[in-house]
Structure 1
């Protein structure tokens, strides 16, 4: 059985990341009107970062060592994004009296605070992150994003360990 080459896999993974971001922006945010919370935005940044790593890998199409470096970076970035998906799932599972207070809108964060303070607030999340706005098959959006990060990490690991 002939497996696809690394370039095809990398470009396909990049396209999947692009599709995930397009769905998040055009379907969930604009069509359904769901505003992303702080952790949602953080997860989007990680999806974009994984996608960019795979895109650069596919366009560069390096030899084995370079491919392993790209694969390692993509895998680590996917694991980083997974952390924030898990954090949001944890917030969604908290009893109502333990949910942190809601913060200001994201646009206001970058207007009122320094970039480092705003990014720190994005990474922490707030009460808005605990709200389940959408589900499919009983799994909330950060659960599906976690599934996506796990799949992307598996792709990265496959390319990292591939002979």
Structure 2
């Protein structure tokens, strides 16, 4: 596995994650899309993923650094799939069955434990069930789910390859 190959993949994941976060922010701010708390969590995970991959691309990790970064990608991909998957599921539930609204995240974090706030966010609101924008007949959470699934697949594959290469290099005299 070449260093250039790893750097270019880290750069690609950074660019796609940064673009997706930028596009989502602009659609919400300029397009007037309602903000579901789950969408905020997904954007946060995309930004963490973009930042992790930017750091990896700039650092150019060696033998044991690559598995660390691909492992972080894998972890963030799993969290993203869980969050986006829940959002897609909520879009298939009638909005009458969901909470009407939630307080904003800073308020919840001031007055509730972190775990309680996260549970409320995952319960979803009527805003989460609304599909107000699509591209190629896919909503933003569905695009987010696709992105996180691709990151999960790429992270798992590259982590496995990186670990194998690191083990082989450590076994050499």
TM-score where L is the length of structure 1: 0.84
Structure 2 residue aligned with 1:93: 92
From the CA coordinates, give the structure whose radius of gyration is larger.
2
Relative to structure 1, the CA distance from residue 34 to residue 138 in structure 2 (aligned partners, 3 Å threshold; closer, same or farther) is same
Distance 1:96 1:150 in 2: 26
| 1:31 Cα deviation after fit | 2.2
| 1:109 Cα deviation after fit | 3.2
CA offsets 1:77-98 (integer angstroms, 9 cap, x no match): 111111111111111112454x
Structure 1 residue aligned with 2:102: 104
The gaps in structure 2 that reach 5 residues or longer are: 166-173
Q: RMSD of the alignment, in Å?
A: 2.4
Structure 1 residue aligned with 2:169: none
Structure 2 residue aligned with 1:113: 111
TM-score where L is the length of structure 2: 0.80
Alpha carbons 1:43, 1:85 under 8 Å: kept: yes
Alpha carbons 1:42, 1:123 under 8 Å: kept: no
| 1:3 Cα deviation after fit | 9.9
Relative to structure 1, the CA distance from residue 133 to residue 109 in structure 2 (aligned partners, 3 Å threshold; closer, same or farther) is farther
Structure 2 residue aligned with 1:151: 150
Alpha carbons 2:102, 2:125 under 8 Å: kept: no
Relative to structure 1, the CA distance from residue 112 to residue 77 in structure 2 (aligned partners, 3 Å threshold; closer, same or farther) is closer
Alpha carbons 2:134, 2:140 under 8 Å: kept: yes
Relative to structure 1, the CA distance from residue 132 to residue 54 in structure 2 (aligned partners, 3 Å threshold; closer, same or farther) is same
Alpha carbons 2:45, 2:80 under 8 Å: kept: yes
Distance 1:24 1:47 in 2: 10
Greater mean deviation of Cα atoms: 65-74 or 108-117: 108-117
Relative to structure 1, the CA distance from residue 118 to residue 95 in structure 2 (aligned partners, 3 Å threshold; closer, same or farther) is closer
SS in 1 for 2:64: helix
